[in-house]
């Protein structure tokens, strides 16, 4: 009887350490798998964020845009390597916000939209006037990355225009009063809903130079100026 009690007590005291040991092995295994999945994710997913400036083409006569038209972009892409080579393919989702600063106001008349030069009829004192175009993007890219971490990417992207707006800061151009006047308009007619064009990227490790040429125009054909742009900037790609 005493022997049976001793065996039961031994099992009772041993069960705690055994369970703890088994749990430790299980947690170590799960942690190892999580690290493995994390490493695979780092190799397969690329995240980038960057700034750029737009060079605008085909502005109407008398309309001048700024030298620097700062914009913002960010994206996440899934990488598909070509076997064990340094080449691969990527597809993803991104966001881009373009700004066109200049001496203009966006105006509409019936079925057409045009840019009106600020101060055409009277001298107007203003700080800035811009058109902001935000896009949801679908980029694709063919990639090369050398063993020395030099990266090159050539691709194409299609983007869908999100709600755009104009913003003006300065003297009231209607009354020409001296008070500071801020106004934002969201109802802009005849904007092209899709943007598309080729992309290029070159860099070392996490710092990349980027370029995008918009084949599409800002406004729909025949309903506004044939303005398009070349975007040049830098990307930070830590993953």
Q: How confident is the model at residue 3 (pLDDT cuts 50, 70, 90)?
A: very low
| 10: in domain | no
Beta carbons of 104 and 63 less than 8 angstroms apart? yes
| 4: in domain | no
Residue 85 sits in a domain whose CATH number is 2.40.160
Query: Longest Cα pair distance anywhere in the chain, in angstroms?
Result: 112
Full-model pTM? 0.80
Q: Is 105 left (phi over 0), alpha (psi -120 to 50) or beta?
A: beta
- Tell me the three state secondary structure of residue 68: coil
| 93: in domain | yes
Beta strands in 146-219 (DSSP E): 150-161, 165-171, 180-185, 194-204, 207-213
| 135: in domain | yes
Beta carbons of 138 and 115 less than 8 angstroms apart? no
What's the pLDDT at 110? 78
**pLDDT digit string, tens, across residues 55-113:** 999 999 999 999 999 999 999 999 999 998 999 999 999 999 999 999 999 998 878 99
| 9-14 average pLDDT score | 45
**pLDDT digit string, tens, across residues 144-171:** 999 999 999 999 999 999 999 999 998 8
| 146: in domain | yes
Within 13 Å of residue 210, how many CA atoms lie on the same side as its CB? 27
Q: Range of 163's domain?
A: 46-236
Q: Which of 39-48, 151-160, 177-186, 189-198 has the lowest mean pLDDT?
A: 39-48
Nearest to 206 by CA among 239, 176, 170: 239
Beta carbons of 121 and 174 less than 8 angstroms apart? no
What's the pLDDT at 33? 52
- Facing residues of 76 across strands? 47, 93
Domain count for the chain: 1
Q: How far is CA 58 from CA 21, 64, 198, 219, 228, in A?
A: 72, 10, 19, 12, 7
| 18: in domain | no
Is the pLDDT reported for residue 44 higher than 60?
A: yes
| 28: in domain | no
More confident residue, 170 or 23: 170
| 9: in domain | no
């Amino acid at each position: 009887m005493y022997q049976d009690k001793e065996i039961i007590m031994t099992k009772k005291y041993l069960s705690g350490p055994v369970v703890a040991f088994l749990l430790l092995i299980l947690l170590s295994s799960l942690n190892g798998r999580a690290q493995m999945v994390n490493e695979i994710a780092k190799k397969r997913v690329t995240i980038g964020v960057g700034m750029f400036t737009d060079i605008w083409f085909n502005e109407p006569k008398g309309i001048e845009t700024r030298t620097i038209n700062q914009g913002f972009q960010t994206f996440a892409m899934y990488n598909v390597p070509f076997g064990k080579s340094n080449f691969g393919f990527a597809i993803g989702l991104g966001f881009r916000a373009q700004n066109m600063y200049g001496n203009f106001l966006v105006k509409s008349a019936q079925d057409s939209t045009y840019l009106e030069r600020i101060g055409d009829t009277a001298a107007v004192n203003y700080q800035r006037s811009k058109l902001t175009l935000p896009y949801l993007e679908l980029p694709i890219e063919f990639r090369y990355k050398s063993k020395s971490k030099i990266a090159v990417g050539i691709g194409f992207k299609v983007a869908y225009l999100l709600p755009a707006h104009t913003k003006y800061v300065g003297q009231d151009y209607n009354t020409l009063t001296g008070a500071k006047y801020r106004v934002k308009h969201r109802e802009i007619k005849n904007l092209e809903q899709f943007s598309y064009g080729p992309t290029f990227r070159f860099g070392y490790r996490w710092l990349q130079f980027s370029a995008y040429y918009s084949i599409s125009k800002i406004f729909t054909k025949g309903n506004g100026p044939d303005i398009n742009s070349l975007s040049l900037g830098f990307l930070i790609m830590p993953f």
